[in-house]
Structure 1
Amino acid sequence: MDLNGKRAIVTGSNSGIGLGCAEELARAGAEVVINSFTDRDEDHALAEKIGREHGVSCRYIAADMSDGEACRALIETAGGCDILVNNAGIQHVSSIEEFPVGKWNAILAINLSSAFHTTAAALPGMRAKGWGRIVNIASAHGLTASPYKSAYVAAKHGVVGFTKVTALETAGKGITCNAICPGYVLTPLVEAQIPDQMKAHDMDRETVIREVMLDRQPSRQFATTGQIGGTVVFLCSGAADQITGTTISVDGGWTAL
C-alpha cells in the first residue's frame, strides 16, 4: 500500500489511536501532519521522530479542535491534504441530568463539529485533484450505546451520519469517506486505568482486563493502535476505491452481539 506523494492530516494524534494512524500512514510513505491542542517541544520532537523512522516528512501543527476556525486553519496551514483522518476526541461520564453543560458542548465540538470543519476545508483541494480519502474515527458507540455517555454516544452517532452524507456528496469524484468504529483499544490512557481497576476489583491484570474492561468485547482482547492505523491505510488503498459511506468495526465482536 504505497502512499508516496500523499499528504495526510491526522487530528488529535500526539498519542493513542491518532498516533497509531499517523505512524502507519508514514510507514506507507505518506507525508504526515500530526496535531493536538498543545504546542510543546516534545510535540515537534515526536513529529521529527516519526519522519526520521519512516523516511518521510512529518510536521506537528497545533490547533484547538474545539474551535471551528482553528480546525479550518489547520488544513490551510498544512497546505491541504489528500488524506484526512478525523480522530480528535474527548470523553466524560455522567448521568444525563447531572451532565455538565460545558462538557456536553466540548464533546460535541471536538468529537463531531471538528470533523465538519476540517472536512469542509479539505474537500475543495480533494475535488480539484480528483482524489481524496476521509476517514472518521467513530466508535462502537457510534453504532450502539452505553449509559452515562450521552454526549459521546450522540457525537459518535453523529460522526457516522456525517460520514454517510460526505460519501454521498463526493460519490464518483475519486473521494471516499468512511468511519472506523473501534471498541476498546489499548492506548496509554486505557493502560493507566488498569492498576486502579485491579485494586478496585481485587483481581490480577489479565483477569481485570478480560472480565471487567473487556466485558462487552467478545474477543476479550484489546485492539491495538497499529490495527486501527492499518485499517486507515487499507481505506486509502486502491482495494478500497469502492468502499465509501460505511462503517468498519474493529471491536472484537462487540457490535455483533
Structure 2
Amino acid sequence: MRGDEPFCDAHPSGHSLSHADPGGTSNTPCDEGFWHPDRADELADGALHIFSPEGADIRQTACLTEFLGRLLQCSPRDIPVTHDGFGRPVSAAPPPAAGWPPGARLCLGIAADPGRQFLAVTRDLPVALSVHTVPRGPVGELLLPFTPLERRYVQEAPEDRRAHRLAQLWTRKEAALRLTGRGGLALADEIDALSEARDGKVVIPASPAHPGGIAYVRDLPTGPRTVASAALAAPASGLRVWRFAVPRT
C-alpha cells in the first residue's frame, strides 16, 4: 500500500494540536510534525507516537490494519492484530518486509470520543489511551471518583478551568486502569493521578477485582474541548504527535 492511497475510502487530514492544559496540569513536552511514509522506521525509536485518523473507525480491525499498512508501507493483509479480553486491539506484528527484528511488535492504544479518535503506537511497550470531551456546567456532582487531593485541585482552579482539570484527571485514571487490567474503575477514588513524579508514575492498588500495577501516564495535546491521556508500562523515550495528511485524488 502506498502512502497516498485513501484510508478506508476517507481522507485523514492533519489537526493543529495544542497542549491540553497550559495552566499547569500538562506533562506533554513533545515533537509535532507531518507524517510521511518514509518515516516508517521512526516507529521503532522507543517514543510514544500519536495519530488522530479521521473518517473511519480504527477500532474496526479492517480499518486499523489499513492505517497500519500505510504507516509501515505494506499490505494490510500482512499485519496480524492481537486483541485483549474486551476485544480492543492491543498489538500488531510488523511483517518481515518492514525490516523489524523477529518478535518485535507494535503496541497499540485506541480511544475515541464524538468526532475525534486517537491511535497510540509504540514498539514493544504496552500502551492504553483515554479520551473524553470536557463536560459543561458545574462539576461538583462529578467529583466522587477522585481523591481528596484531586478534589481540592479541581475546586481551587478558576471556575472556567474546573471541568477541564476534572476531565484530565479522569483520563489519567482511566488510561492507567485500562493498561493494568480489567475490573478496576471502582478503584478510581484510590488512585492518585496528581503524582509529582517527573516520570508520571501512577500506582494502581491491588484488589480482589484488579491485579494492580504501575502505569506511566502522559497527557496528550488535544483541542480545547477534548482531553486525552496515555498510560505506558514504562517511561517512553519521548512523545511524538503526527499530523497525517493524505492528498485528495
What TM-score, normalized to structure 2? Answer: 0.29
What TM-score, normalized to structure 1? Answer: 0.28
Say which structure is richer in strand.
Answer: 2
Q: Which has the higher contact order (CA 8 A, sep 6+)?
A: 2
